[in-house]
Amino acid sequence: MEYDIAIVGGGPAGLTTGIYAARSKLTAIIFDSGASQIAEALTIENYPGFKHVSGEELLAKMRKQAELAGVKIADELIIDILKDTDYTLLSTSGKNYTAKSIILAMGATHNAGIKGEVDFIGRGVSYCAICDGIFFRDRVVAVIGGGNTAIEEAIFLAQHAKKVYLICKNLNADPALQDKAIENPKIEISLDKRVVEITGDKMVGGITMMDYKNRERMNLSLDGVFITTSIPVNQLAKKLGLETGNGGYLITDHQQKTNIKGIFSAGDITGGLKQVVVACSEGAIAAMAAYDYIKG
Ligand SMILES: Cc1cc2nc3c(=O)[nH]c(=O)nc-3n(C[C@H](O)[C@H](O)[C@H](O)COP(=O)(O)OP(=O)(O)OC[C@H]3O[C@@H](n4cnc5c(N)ncnc54)[C@H](O)[C@@H]3O)c2cc1C
């Protein structure tokens, strides 16, 4: 069977695309390899309609809604997409699928590979200041990174936290943003440093840093660590020849169209504000744009 829409990625973006596609009477299939970032969120408090919800629960509800709407969900990893008149998707299951249009919603990965990082996710290690900053009121935290996102997060966190360390090799954010961080009395910038370990008991208690110049190690007591690394899962997109911008994020227009006709993209893989509500919104827009494309 040929589907109208094949969606690669079953996180909030892909599932919302599926719901909108099915409600527009399009045949849709979602492929998912089961690594949605939302599942790592212990509590989500900024998704409208839910005061507190765990990421896992919200994801399960979205998935159920997509299935009830009539979307087929295949727990399979897509390894290649071939373009002819339509598209053929190759899965690790050995099966091939064809579709008239494609939505790429493969998300991003945040893991910085620091020793102890994974052990403390949700217990002091966070990847999102906007989501979790409020839990660190009057606490001491560190932001790892020296780019725009890191500095924006440090400035945001300084509104809640008692002290914010910004730890990086060097600052490479916009100069105006750097000045804001330098001028903020709550932010202390620590250059030429690499975080080698996150330590603690039940919760984060501190970090061990190494100096790039003299390789000396030093410990810092902390209540929270914010990691700003974010790498888009763009390998399939690159193979297809899709345009990427800063940091490898896919470039789309206001209808989530990529530079290749019939291919749309939504969610964290397109960069911008990486939040569930944004991923859902882009997924809805992508579904409607794909509808217009299919119906000509
Ligand atoms: C710890 C943590 C806490 C967070 N807290 C919040 C919060 O409180 N509020 C908030 O709004 N946001 C929060 N976020 C951000 C939020 O989770 C993301 O913005 C959101 O999940 C992005 O959705 P997405 O669909 O674009 O990508 P994802 O959720 O990452 O989903 C992408 C999916 O694509 C699949 N995939 C990738 N490649 C393939 C392939 N080749 N074939 C098949 N499947 C594939 C992956 O397995 C994954 O399931 C948090 C993120 C983290 C990591």
State in Å: Cα 268 to ligand 1 middle: 7
Distance, CA 190 to ligand 1 centroid (Å)?
30
**DSSP character for 118?**
G
- Report the chain's C-alpha Rg in angstroms: 21
**CA of 236, closest atom in ligand 1:** 41
Atom of ligand 1 nearest to the CA of 40: 1
Give the atom of ligand 1 at the shortest distance from the alpha carbon of 282. 26
Task: Please give the pLDDT value at position 148.
Answer: 85
Separation of CA 50 from chain center: 20
**C-alpha span between 150 and 146 (Å, rounded):** 6
**Are the beta carbons of 10 and 35 closer than 8 angstroms?**
no
Q: How much is the pLDDT for 40?
A: 82
Distance of CA 105 to the CA centre of its chain: 10
CA 81/CA 7 separation, integer angstroms: 11
Q: List the structure tokens of 27.
A: 């045949």
**For a pocket test of ligand 1, which of 128, 226, 240 has the largest count of ligand atoms closer than 8 A to its C-beta?**
128
Pocket residue to mutate for ligand 1, from 33, 38, 59, most atoms within 8 A of Cβ: 38
Q: Please tell me whether residue 25 adopts helix, strand or coil conformation.
A: coil
How many Cα neighbours within 13 Å face the side chain of 216? 5
Q: Start-end ranges of CATH 3.50.50.60 in the chain?
A: 2-109+230-295, 118-227
Atom of ligand 1 minimally distant from the CA of 110: 53
Using CA atoms, how far apart are residues 212 and 167, in angstroms rounded to an integer?
12
Question: Hey, which residues does 238 pair with through a beta bridge?
Answer: none
Distance from C-alpha of 130 to C-alpha of 196, rounded to nearest angstrom: 25
- The whole-number pLDDT of residue 174 equals 86
How does strand 28-31 pair with strand 231-232?
Answer: unpaired
| pLDDT averaged per 10 residues in sequence order, the chain, 296 residues | 97 98 98 93 90 96 98 97 95 95 95 92 92 95 92 95 96 91 97 96 97 95 93 95 94 98 97 94 98 96
Q: Give me the CATH code for the 2-109+230-295 domain, please.
A: 3.50.50.60
Tokens of 255: 């209808």
Kindly state the tokens that stand for 169: 């090799």
- Distance in Å, CA 62 to ligand 1 centroid: 13
**Ligand 1 centroid distance, CA of 232 (Å):** 10
Ligand 1 pocket, residue 40 CB under 6 Å: yes
Which residue CA neighbors atom 44 of ligand 1 most closely? 32
Best residue among 81, 250, 276 to mutate for probing ligand 1, ranked by most atoms within 8 Å of CB: 276
Q: Does ligand 1 come within 6 angstroms of the Cβ of 281?
A: no
CB of 34 shorter than 6 A to ligand 1:
yes
User: CA-CA distance, 109 to 98, in Å (whole number)?
Assistant: 27
CA dist 49 → 39, 261, 264 (Å): 18, 35, 28
pLDDT (0 to 100) of residue 173: 86
Q: How far apart are CA 135 and CA 30, in angstroms?
A: 35
Q: What pLDDT score was predicted for residue 169? A: 92
Q: Which CATH topology does 118-227 take? A: FAD/NAD(P)-binding domain (3.50.50)
Q: Ligand 1 center to residue 212 CA distance, Å?
A: 32
**In angstroms, rounded to a whole number, what is the distance separating the alpha carbons of residues 210 and 220?**
11
pTM above 0.75, yes or no: yes
* pLDDT at residue 266, as a whole number: 98
Selection from 221, 151, 230, 228 nearest residue 189 by Cα: 151
Q: Which two tokens stand for residue 221?
A: 């007591």
**What is the distance between the alpha carbons of residues 296 and 292, in angstroms, rounded to a whole number?**
6
